[in-house]
Amino acid sequence: MTVHSFTSLVASANEVLAHPRRETTIGTGNGSREASPRFEVYHSAPSLCSFKVRAVLFERGIPFRSHDMNIMPVGGGTPENYRPEYVRMRLQGAPNARLVDGYTGASSVTTEGFDPCVVPTLVDHEKQAVVVDSANICEYLDREWAEGEPLMPEATADEVRAQVDRVDRAPHVAALYGAHPDSDNRPAALRKNIKDVHGRKIAAVEAMMAEAGDDVELQAAYRAKITKEASADKFVYDADSMRAAHRAMDEHVGALEAQLEGHGESWVLGDAFTLADIMWTNSLYRLKWLGMGHFWEQGPDRPRVVEYAEHAFERPSFRRAVIGWPGAYFPSPHVKEFSGPMAFVKFAWHMMRRLPI
């Protein structure tokens, strides 16, 4: 990709995504600002994969230009991650990838294929690169940023990647969009707003296909997205599939208990905080918010996960990237930060600020 085409792609995406209340440059922890930082990050407040990337940015103190995209517009508008300009740019990050062709309840590119219409996406202006897939983005940022301690030390890189992959393959997406057929503990506001979401997504993609005209690459991207969402719609309404997804999440937490018990240290791989901990922290908090904290909080079977979650949720980078990020989570009775009457008031205020100007 030439410098000219790279610049044009990014500029086109930025033009249609510009929103003064959701576009901001974020500096390091001392409050500094850069007019044109090296990295631009296209993410969304409530996206689990976006949480991971934001946590890396804050943990490493990396300045970045934030594009907080509206991926589930109120009132049925077009998700910004479906806009042709954004999808064209994102496709440059995976030019030869297998496009998404089904749904297993996870968000891993390894298992699902590449979805051209999701977040996050990273732009590196210094290297004229578009980087996709949250696991790749996190590792890329950690490798490229020279200041501070790395989250993937060379000596434990393979072990870190194995943990990242484990978290990536867990069916977090199914747990969010689908109900357990016997006991749906998800927050009421989520259940209401997520209803029939896959059909709404398909309708929005079909509208974008009409805009794409005879652009072969875009049309292929949109067809792949429709295939995924149609498969997802069948999955989340299938009782056996959802029971299996919940069993997988229970086993997922059990694997963390065994990992922590194996060495007795504070973090996933020992006494050093790594990228593995960023992934696991976000995984556990998402489960707790969804009402699945019982996988480790009820009974004496997983005491190490209980201890781990308590201090991992207090990590400053996690609190900035997730707890304190406007609009990250619907109100939920299962987590203290998003429960109570004021949680609804605060969330409504954040949603109002996400609407078109």
**Alpha-helix residue ranges (DSSP H) falling in the chain:** 3-17, 48-60, 84-91, 109-112, 134-144, 157-169, 172-177, 188-194, 197-212, 216-236, 239-263, 275-289, 294-297, 303-312, 316-318, 341-352
Nearest Cα neighbor of 335 from 277, 287, 267 is 287
Q: Identify the pLDDT of residue 338.
A: 93
Tokens 């929103």 belong to 19
Q: pLDDT at residue 20 above 60?
A: yes
Residue partners of 154: CB distance under 8 A and separation at least 6: none
Decide: 291 and 187 in contact? Cβ < 8 Å.
yes
CA dihedral 130, 136, 140, 141 (to 10 degrees): 90
Mean pLDDT of 155-164: 98
Q: Identify the pLDDT of residue 245.
A: 98
Q: Counting Cβ atoms within 10 Å, is residue 156 exposed (0-12), middle (13-18) or buried (19+)? A: middle
Mean pLDDT of the chain: 93
Q: Identify the pLDDT of residue 353.
A: 72
Q: pLDDT at residue 261 above 60?
A: yes
Q: Identify the pLDDT of residue 21.
A: 86
Min mean pLDDT across 31-35, 141-145, 201-205, 314-318 is at: 31-35
User: Coil, strand or helix: which one is 179?
Assistant: coil
Mean pLDDT of 185-214: 94
Q: Which amino acid is at 39?
A: F
Q: pLDDT at residue 333 above 60?
A: yes
Q: Identify the pLDDT of residue 34.
A: 47
